[in-house]
Amino acid sequence: MSTQAPIRRMTVPQIRAKKGADPIVSLTSYHAHTAAIVDKFADFILVGDSLGMVMHGMDSTIGVPLDLMIMHGRAVVRGTKRALIVVDMPFGTYEESPNMGFRNAAKIMKETACGAVKLEGGARMAETIRFLSERGIPVMAHIGLTPQSVNTMGGFKVQGRDEAAWKTHIDDARAVAEAGAFALVVEGVVEELADKITAAVDIPTIGIGASKNCDGQILVLEDMLGLNPRVPKFVKVYGDLGPAIERAVAEYTEEVKTRTFPGEDNVYR
């Protein structure tokens, strides 16, 4: 009989308790096999709507449907055992009203078995965050450069270049924290502003293009593995998998054309 303790998933209260203490590690993942690798290291895994661009070749995240998020969310949950799984709510599934947000968030959680959802927006989404949180749905908030607002922002633009706008971002952070968000993604803001946001709220901040002083960090997995030809400045490429995959495919192609693959070890007798 095994005496090994069962692996337990990271919980929302455990993530929140890391505020100002142990740095939070996070990456995105969209499928079971990469999620199983990330699961060994990450505190939480985000099934981000960035999958529309990374996996499906979309120009932005705007066109990602709810069912696609659910399908990828299921795969990531199946491939993991210990990390908290957070699934993005795509554009158009929560902005209309708190009731709409609850229906779609509940659908995501019931059909994927994830542990939380993430939605974009600051003070304007506080009512919805409170509505969901009070009804048993943990919410991770997201402020700063919010990709679902790319059309109103006029592109993927760094926020906080104008110090006069800092108060708005800090007020957004306080609003979502007070509404019940358990953590806050801070994306694409100048470093000094990210530091002020982190100091202003009692929930963990998760930086992406923000500051090393955030309570945690997140990157898109494919970006940091060198699988995307163009990445933002804030990405550090930790692997060079793109060229490695190309070399492997080229070698396979050559062996097929010269009939050296399959070899003796690859056929049945």
Q: How is residue 235 annotated by DSSP?
A: -
CA–CA dist 127, 109 (Å, integer) = 20
Of the residues 163, 187, 222, 264, only one is catalytic, namely 187
Q: Which residues of 9-26 are buried (b: 16+ CB within 10 A; e: fewer)?
A: ebebeebbebbeeeebbb
Q: Is 50 annotated as a binding residue?
A: yes
Residue identified by tokens 């060994």 is: 40
Q: Has 212 been labeled as part of a binding site?
A: no
> Which helix (H) or strand (E) covers residue 28, if one does?
strand 24-28
> Six-digit token pair at 168?
């708005």
Q: How many CA atoms lie within 13 A of 215 on its CB side?
A: 24
Is 187 part of the annotated catalytic residue set? yes
> Is 195 a known ligand-binding residue?
no
- Please tell me whether 88 is known to bind a ligand: yes
Q: 3-state DSSP call for residue 183?
A: strand
Question: Binding site: residue ranges?
Answer: 49-50, 88, 118, 120
Tell me the catalytic residues.
187
Question: Binding site for 3-methyl-2-oxobutanoate: residue ranges?
Answer: 49-50, 88, 118
Question: Binding site for Mg(2+): residue ranges?
Answer: 49, 88, 120
